[in-house]
Amino acid sequence: MEEADRCGDIMIMDKDHFKEIILNQLEDGVFYQKLNGNRDKSTVSKIRKLIKEYSNSLTNKEIDYLENLYVKTSNCYGLPKIHKSKEIQDHTENSDSMYIKINRPTDLKLRPIIARPSCRLINLLDILLKPFCIKVPSFVRDDIVFLNYIQDRVPLDTILVSFDVINIYTNIPHEL
């Protein structure tokens, strides 16, 4: 059972189909490359070096949070993008049931999630930076806030356009 990307719906998937989708996605040489060896220990070593270097800028609680982590092998999984599957949307629109059954949707994609040792560091940064986000003039929490904001600022005859960026994180050069 997997929670779907964005909409929060629950999806029960055939394990082999799920594995097949994620492996096909990872085998795409344009966005992914196979690495030799495990880099997790090296990542943890770099994080510990940073902690030591900046220990005077961190609280004891922050240092404890970053240092006391159980290092396990990086993990990759995917969240089903059911909102982008035409096959699933068509079944949903033509059903009056709370549940739909599609054995193996052919157009289903997954949003890849990579769980790594650096997630602890990223999580801490998120906690520390979140209070400052609301002070940035361009910060928009979600689409409802945005729609309420533009309601009085945009003329009624304005045409709003939305773009869907595909594979945004896999298209950002690693140097950045």
pLDDT(83) > 60: yes
Phi, psi of 115 (to 5 degrees): -95, 120
Give ∠ CA 143-121-58 in degrees, rounded to 5.
110
172 in any annotated domain: no
Please report the pLDDT score of residue 4 as a whole number: 57
> Cα dist. 6→24, 79, 98 in Å?
22, 9, 18
Angle between the N-to-C axes of helices 60-67 and 40-53, in degrees from 0 to 180, rounded to the nearest 10: 170
Give per-residue pLDDT as tens, 10-65: 778 888 999 999 898 888 888 888 888 878 788 888 888 999 999 999 999 999 88
pLDDT(161) > 70: yes
162 in any annotated domain: no
Domain count, the chain: 1
151 in any annotated domain: no
How many angstroms separate the CA atoms of 52 and 58, rounded?
10
139 in any annotated domain: no
For residue 114, the enclosing domain spans 2-134
106 in any annotated domain: yes
12 in any annotated domain: yes
